[in-house]
Amino acid sequence: MSSISSTDGSTTCRLSHSGERTVIVEVRSSDRVAANRVTREIAARIAAGNHPFIHDIVPAMTTVGVHYDPHRVELSSADKLPYQVVEALLEQVVNDSSDGATDSGRVVDIPVCYGGEYGVDLAEVAQTCCLSVDEVVKLHSGELVDVMMIGFAPGHPYIGLLDDKLTPPRRATPRTAVAPGSVGLANRQSVIYPVTLPGGWNLIGRTPLQMFDPSRADPCLLHAGDKVRFVSISPAEFDALNEHAGAAQ
């Protein structure tokens, strides 16, 4: 295990081993958004190296899992082990990384029909946050926000951080089935359910777009590093754009 600090001391990265074939890079910072952006940059730099012994790179919110084949690691001297070579490589990547983001450059508009049958928790969220329903919608759709990671299910984005007034906790009792396209809100983050899944996020709206479609060339609509702009639409506009029509709800 080793730790590397940024030049200004604001970010610390820790390397730890998980079994014989995986190294975890953990980014620590008091600023969650900054930590996430450094995490994405580290993952992108590792991928750009095209190292033949690394077969999977899994970025999460503030960690990167690096899976490697020890048999393909070229040893520079007889006294070095594969994990030492991988660790040295990752230390160099971390040292070369900055506090800036490696974003995709994409801005993706996500239409959302807020409230009603599509956002059954919107009124409760407004009450919890001491806001009106209109204020919640305005704050949720008022600025560009980062896709921080994809996880939990294929194409399932975690998006944030939203305005600091949007801090409702997750529901005490999760639902056993949430419809695809549902937009959840909790603790300044949003998720969008790609398929029918269980979940405990507060449902404030629904998008007619399919977040995950295995028949597309790129199955996932969003990727970590994209920026999202939520756009409020009417129920009629939802019906006109609905990509879930005919699919299991």
Q: The CATH number of the domain where 25 resides is what?
A: 3.30.1360.40
- Does any domain span residue 247? no
Q: What pLDDT is attached to residue 249? A: 44
- Quick one: 115 and 196 in the same domain? yes
- Quick one: 230 and 153 in the same domain? yes
Question: pLDDT tens-digit profile of 189-201?
Answer: 999 999 999 999 9
Q: What pTM did the predictor assign?
A: 0.87
Tell me the longest C-alpha to C-alpha distance in the chain: 69
Last residue of a domain, one of 96, 131, 160: 96
Give the pLDDT mean for 115-128: 98
Task: Look at the chain and report how many structural domains it folds into.
Answer: 2
- Quick one: 112 and 142 in the same domain? yes
CB 26 within 8 A of CB 60: no
**DSSP type of residue 74:** P
- Quick one: 202 and 90 in the same domain? no
Q: What pLDDT is attached to residue 7? A: 42
Lookup: tokens for 162: 């939203």
- Does any domain span residue 249? no
Q: How far apart are CA 233 and CA 150, in angstroms?
A: 25
- Does any domain span residue 246? no
- Does any domain span residue 85? yes
- Quick one: 89 and 112 in the same domain? no
Question: pLDDT tens-digit profile of 142-178?
Answer: 889 999 999 999 999 999 999 999 999 999 999 999 9
- Does any domain span residue 102? no
- The full length of the chain comes to 249
Q: Is the dihedral of CA 103, 233, 203, 139 positive or negative?
A: positive
CB 17 within 8 A of CB 25: no
Last residue of a domain, one of 49, 75, 96: 96
CB 228 within 8 A of CB 217: no
The CATH number of whichever domain residue 200 belongs to comes to 2.40.100.10
Q: Note down the domain range covering 29.
A: 2-96
Give the pLDDT mean for 26-47: 92
Question: pLDDT tens-digit profile of 223-248?
Answer: 999 999 999 999 999 999 998 865 54
**DSSP type of residue 118:** G
Q: What pLDDT is attached to residue 248? A: 45
Q: How far apart are CA 167 and CA 128, in angstroms?
A: 9
- Quick one: 118 and 90 in the same domain? no
Q: What pLDDT is attached to residue 2? A: 59
For residue 185, the SS3 value is strand
